[in-house]
Amino acid sequence: MEVSAVIGSGIGGLAAALRLKHKGFDVKVFEQSDIPGGKIGEHKNKGYRFDTGPSLFTLPALLFELFELFGKNAADYIEVVDLPVTCNYFFPDGSNLKAWSDHDKFVQEAVNSGVDRQALENYLEKQKFLYNFTSEFFLFNSIHKISTYVGEAGQKSLRALHKLDAFTSMNKRNESVFGKGNLTQLFNRYATYNGSDPYRAPATLNMIAHLEHNTGAYFPKNGMRGIVEALVKLAHEVGVEFHLGEGVKSIQQQIDSSWNVITDKQIYTAGIVVNNTDVTYFYKNILPDAGMHRKLMKRERSSSALIFYWGVNYASELDVHNILFSNNYKAEFEGLFKHKLFANDLTVYIFISKKVVESDAPAGKENWFVMVNAPENVGQNWQQQSEKARQIIVAKINKMLNIDIEKHIESESVMTPVDIESRTTSVNGSLYGHSSNSPMAAFLRHPNFSRKYKNLYFVGGSVHPGGGIPLCLASAKIVGKSLSH
């Protein structure tokens, strides 16, 4: 059996390992950390459990497919619930809008807040169109191969090219439908799902909204970490070999195009290598290539995050996902991408897994994951920036939710962009590799294969088709498809 080496056990690496195993490879996963899962981490503190990274889970079918490959029933590994409310929004004007996953209920709620019914219905229909006409081409195929353009998915997207809204920004399109109102802010927010700026990112990305508003949001019954646990369990059962706490230092191609994988413990030989580390880090550290590294460093990186994990000693009326919007969204994104510092007002995201997972906090208490989008780490004073953000967050929560939150915080931990970088080697702590702030960004992402080296593949949030759990799973699917075995 040919050996394949997967470097990194993020969601992309785990999915790739399973797809390789299914193709008949002998699969070894090398992970520098003692714990698999990369950004999908977990933290426990004084009786509270927190998912430390992703919290929004869409397109679960992409996850379930991995179990089906081996004839297994995904429900035996992970139970997922539908969230009736995808997000609970609080606006600076004091209004509140619940985004129901039920289409009609959401539309009615928005209409009650003064939004034109037909305009919203047309808008959601357009997002569905964008998704249906681009997803097969952009998300589930390599856009770096000619065959994709001449294939059915490519032809379908190319025929609809003039309708894909690539040359106007998300914000411009949203304002043209909803004016400067709250729904523009709500739909602009989807740019942050891949760490981008709605005032520059192409309006094609408005299709991200389709996933929540037309297909729904989900949550694993045992928390987001349950996704990793389920995949690792399956991987063990089907014979994937994990080398935890064994970082890869470098790889070297041999004359027969196989690879030597040099870890901090041993040298292994592998027929193929799949890299799941941040591609910019990879070309600096694992397969040094100064030209490639320089090229990747020149591209704008996606935003990062600052998160406070608070054990809160009261039971709120919030939902699983809650957003408290800032007064000046534009200034917030200028802070993130231009000044690389926090603006004076910030949008605050509060995620409470306890709303689904009863055991995540003691009775009558809640685990609050309180996050603001943060600039990539370029050496800012994070102590100072975190203190500033915390003050803004506390003031905002107090004002918009009418409480004195400080009185209720009984445990606190913090994760900064520097921590994200040091734990997962994501360059500058960016959550999603490069940003998607230009119409060409999708095409500039690193392909899922190497143009220079045979038998070298790439998965995960820093390569095509992009960051976030569904797209990382899609990247592994593309690699699976590209292997001729």
Ligand X SMILES: Cc1cc2nc3c(=O)[nH]c(=O)nc-3n(C[C@H](O)[C@H](O)[C@H](O)COP(=O)(O)OP(=O)(O)OC[C@H]3O[C@@H](n4cnc5c(N)ncnc54)[C@H](O)[C@@H]3O)c2cc1C
Residue keyed to tokens 């129901």: 100
Min dist CB 319 to ligand X, Å, is: 15
- Is 7 a residue that touches ligand X (CB under 6 A)? yes
Containing H/E element for 373?
strand 366-374
From the list 126-134, 154-162, 424-432, 435-443, the region that binds ligand X by CB under 6 A is 424-432
- Is 53 a residue that touches ligand X (CB under 6 A)? yes
- Is 8 a residue that touches ligand X (CB under 6 A)? yes
> What x/- string results for residues 250 through 289 when contact with ligand X is judged by CB under 6 A?
--------------------------xx--------x---
From the list 7-15, 139-147, 287-295, 375-383, the region that binds ligand X by CB under 6 A is 7-15
Ramachandran bin of 245, using left for φ above 0, alpha for ψ from -120 to 50, beta for the remaining angles: left
User: For residue 276, which of 64, 2, 32, 483 has the smallest C-alpha distance?
Assistant: 32
**C-alpha pair distances (Å), 54 with each of 149, 150, 155, 468:** 32, 35, 34, 8
Residue nearest to ligand X (CB): 10
Evaluate the CA torsion angle 453, 455, 460, 466 in order and state its sign. positive
196 within 8 A of 186, measured Cβ to Cβ: no
Instruction: Say which amino acid occupies 145.
Output: K
Cα distance between residue 456 and residue 91, in whole Å:
47
**What is the number of H-type helices and E-type strands within the chain?**
17, 19
Cα distance between residue 108 and residue 204, in whole Å:
25
Query: Using CB under 6 A, which of 107, 205, 336, 472 touches ligand X?
Result: 472
- Is 480 a residue that touches ligand X (CB under 6 A)? no
From the list 49-57, 171-179, 228-236, 392-400, the region that binds ligand X by CB under 6 A is 49-57
Q: Are strands 241-244 and 26-31 parallel, antiparallel or unpaired?
A: parallel
User: For residue 370, which of 335, 336, 408 has the smallest C-alpha distance?
Assistant: 408
3-state class of 403 per DSSP? Answer: coil
From the list 91-99, 159-167, 173-181, 419-427, the region that binds ligand X by CB under 6 A is 419-427
Min dist CB 355 to ligand X, Å, is: 15
- Is 40 a residue that touches ligand X (CB under 6 A)? yes
Containing H/E element for 31?
strand 26-31
- Is 12 a residue that touches ligand X (CB under 6 A)? yes
User: For residue 406, which of 325, 320, 312 has the smallest C-alpha distance?
Assistant: 312
- Is 55 a residue that touches ligand X (CB under 6 A)? yes
Classify residue 446 as exposed, middle or buried by CB count within 10 Å of its CB (0-12, 13-18, 19+). Answer: buried
- Is 99 a residue that touches ligand X (CB under 6 A)? no
Query: Using CB under 6 A, which of 18, 27, 56, 372 touches ligand X?
Result: 56
Min dist CB 19 to ligand X, Å, is: 13
Please list every residue from 117 through 156 that binds ligand X, using CB under 6 A: none
Please list every residue from 302 through 361 that binds ligand X, using CB under 6 A: 305, 307
Query: Using CB under 6 A, which of 3, 4, 6, 9 touches ligand X?
Result: 9
> What x/- string results for residues 233 through 252 when contact with ligand X is judged by CB under 6 A?
--------------xx----
DSSP state at residue 70: T
Between 46 and 249, CB nearer to ligand X: 249
Site residues, ligand X (CB under 6 A):
7-13, 30-33, 38-40, 53-56, 247-248, 276-277, 286, 305, 307, 420, 424-426, 431-432, 460-461, 467-469, 472
